């Protein structure tokens, strides 16, 4: 790029650092805000205060955008970054990229005159993110189980993007996979792939035999009654967002080990996820893939 566009990466986790690195190598003039506690050789961009960051035309904000509705998701920042400071500082000159924000937030930014893009609504990125999440779950399962995945009995609740990819990965590794899905279409799709399939409202079906269960449905599906049908040695993995699918209190009372597989793939594949964010942003700005 002849004249390097100025781009500020404000807040986020390790994925944003890799995104910054990729964008910098692509030709953007990149700065960082909210990464004072991040110490790594991959951090090459300069740390700047928020007011200086807002002088850039392009702003890259985190995924998820906020975890509490008050401050930016910025785990490496020395100080909290209030959302109000962003709302007040953003204007018509800005091109704003953020991830997984609610409609109220998107509308509030749009009202400032900024051009706003939720990059997590981009279908290629969403699919790739689901695959990376499924891969991270497979690694967690391998790490936590006392048995091999090959020959194991697995239950996957939900057959959306993550459930689909996870089921195929487990199947490829030699597990016998049973899917519990909400729609007839999803169950039919699972059966055409050689997977067992039941209605999610019937978790008692053959549940006594599962070695482990992974939930990907963000709705309370596995309540106490459903959990009582599980094999006593079954390991539970929660991979959905709030309000989650597993009743954690009931599971603890019944003696189940529950592993909360949150922040994937940020924890397991931050470079791959960050580079995909960078590619999505660059494509939205230029119409060209990196």
Same structural domain, 46 and 104: yes
Range of 100's domain?
6-121
Residue 231 has pLDDT above 90, yes or no: no
Q: What is the mean pLDDT of residues 77-93?
A: 96
pLDDT in tens, 172-184: 999 999 999 999 9
Residue 217 has pLDDT above 80, yes or no: yes
* Beta partners for residue 6, in sequence order: 29
In a domain, 267, yes or no: no
Q: What is the pLDDT of residue 232?
A: 87
pLDDT in tens, 128-152: 999 999 999 999 999 999 999 999 9
Same structural domain, 145 and 167: yes
The pTM (predicted TM-score) of the whole model is 0.90
Q: How confident is the model at residue 201 (pLDDT cuts 50, 70, 90)?
A: confident
Ramachandran class of 171: left when φ > 0, alpha when ψ lies in -120 to 50, beta otherwise: alpha
Same structural domain, 49 and 79: yes
User: How far is Cα 147 from Cα 51, in angstroms, rounded to an integer?
Assistant: 53
Same structural domain, 143 and 249: yes
Q: What is the mean pLDDT of residues 85-94?
A: 96
First to last CA, the chain: 12
Report the domain count for the chain.
Answer: 2
pLDDT in tens, 247-288: 999 999 999 999 999 989 999 999 999 999 999 999 999 987
Ordered DSSP codes for 164-201 = HHHHHHHHHTT-EEEEEESSHHHHHHHHHTT-EEEETT
Same structural domain, 137 and 255: yes
Phi, psi of 174 (to 5 degrees): 100, 10
Who's near 144: CB < 8 A, 6+ residues apart?
A: 235, 237, 257, 259
- Give the C-alpha distances (Å, rounded to integers) separating 43 from 20, 24, 155: 8, 11, 40
């Amino acid at each position: 790029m002849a004249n390097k566009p100025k781009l500020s990466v404000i807040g986020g986790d390790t994925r944003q650092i890799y995104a910054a690195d990729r964008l910098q190598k692509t030709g953007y003039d990149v700065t960082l805000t909210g990464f004072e506690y991040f110490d790594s050789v991959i951090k090459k961009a300069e740390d700047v205060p928020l007011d200086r960051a807002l002088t850039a035309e392009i702003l890259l904000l985190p995924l998820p955008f906020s975890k509490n509705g008050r401050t930016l998701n910025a785990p490496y920042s020395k100080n909290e970054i209030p959302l109000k400071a962003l709302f007040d500082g953003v204007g018509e000159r800005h091109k704003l990229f953020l991830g997984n924000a609610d409609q109220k937030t998107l509308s509030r930014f749009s009202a400032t005159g900024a051009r706003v893009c939720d990059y997590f609504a981009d279908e290629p990125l969403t699919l790739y993110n689901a695959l990376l999440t499924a891969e991270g779950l497979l690694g967690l399962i391998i790490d936590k189980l006392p048995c091999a995945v090959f020959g194991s009995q697995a239950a996957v609740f939900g057959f959306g993007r993550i459930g689909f990819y996870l089921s195929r990965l487990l199947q490829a590794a030699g597990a016998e996979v049973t899917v519990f899905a909400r729609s007839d279409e999803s169950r039919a799709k699972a059966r055409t792939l050689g997977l067992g399939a039941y209605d999610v409202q019937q978790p008692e079906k053959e549940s006594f035999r599962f070695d482990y269960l992974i939930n990907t449905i963000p709705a309370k599906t596995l309540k106490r009654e459903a959990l009582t049908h599980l094999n006593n040695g079954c390991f539970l993995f929660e991979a959905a967002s709030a309000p989650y699918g597993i009743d954690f209190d009931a599971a603890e009372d019944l003696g189940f080990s529950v592993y909360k597989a949150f922040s994937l793939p940020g924890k397991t594949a931050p470079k791959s996820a960050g580079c995909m964010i960078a590619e999505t942003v660059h494509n939205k700005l230029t119409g060209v893939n990196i």
